[in-house]
A = this chain, B = another copy of it.
Amino acid sequence: MAEEVILLDFWPSLFGMRVRIALREKGVEFDMREEDLSNKSPLLLKMNPVHKKIPILVHNGKPVCESLLIVQYIDESWVRESPLLPSDPYERARAGFWADYVDKKLYPAMRTMWLSTGEAQEAGKKEFIEFLKVLEGELGDKAYFGGETFGYVDVSLIPFYSWFYALDFSIVEECPKLVAWAKRCMQRESVAKSLPDQHKLRDFLLVLQKKLQAK
């Protein structure tokens, strides 16, 4: 049976980018369907009735939700190409810890930085840089977070690079190793193809920022 792989996605989504990268790392052909989040498709509502959120991977009719779980699912379902998670339980837990850190710390701080104004924005920026420095420390002198090969933590974090590039946010001084790592990741076809055009993303984020800050 031919495999049917549909990705319900929204192009500027950091979480959607993770899934696109993982699928491309594995060489999986997929049908990316762009969702209008103000008018969600019946398929989206059917496939994720609990959270009603993208990204959703629909593999042979069955939905998998939540970006990190989808990346793990992809890694376990298409095992032949490019393993993303280590096989050792301790190293797996360690990778899980840092991906979780990105979701629990980095993402909320980036939202605050993006959507707040004045002092709150400054505080958010400071916190965001602190979190990035922790990640810079974890990366150290390794090529990728897991060592020599591109993997799970890299997939989880690299989408953020597109956002802060678009938001005109430079971390070259504070986190030079992280910047070098991001450039290394961007050389991979899977990443370059999955991250959106910077100008388009910048315009989108600025418009959305004004709309949300005005609320």
Binding site for B on A (CB under 8 A): 50, 59, 62, 64-66, 69-70, 72-73, 76-77, 89-90, 92-93, 96-97, 100-101, 134
**Across the interface, do B89 and A50 meet the contact criterion of CB distance under 8 Å?**
no
**Across the interface, do A73 and B50 meet the contact criterion of CB distance under 8 Å?**
no
Given contacts A62-B90, A77-B89, A89-B76, contact A100 B69 (CB under 8 A): yes
Of all chain B residues, the one with the shortest Cβ separation from A65 is B97
**Across the interface, do A92 and B73 meet the contact criterion of CB distance under 8 Å?**
yes
Interface of A is mostly: helix
**Across the interface, do B66 and A97 meet the contact criterion of CB distance under 8 Å?**
yes
Query: How many angstroms from the CA of A97 to the CA of B101 in the assembled complex?
Result: 18
**Across the interface, do A92 and B65 meet the contact criterion of CB distance under 8 Å?**
no
**Across the interface, do B92 and A72 meet the contact criterion of CB distance under 8 Å?**
yes
**Across the interface, do B73 and A90 meet the contact criterion of CB distance under 8 Å?**
yes
Query: How many angstroms from the CA of A66 to the CA of B93 in the assembled complex?
Result: 9
Kindly provide the distance from the CB of A50 to the nearest chain B CB, expressed in whole angstroms. 6
Query: How many angstroms from the CA of A59 to the CA of B76 in the assembled complex?
Result: 26
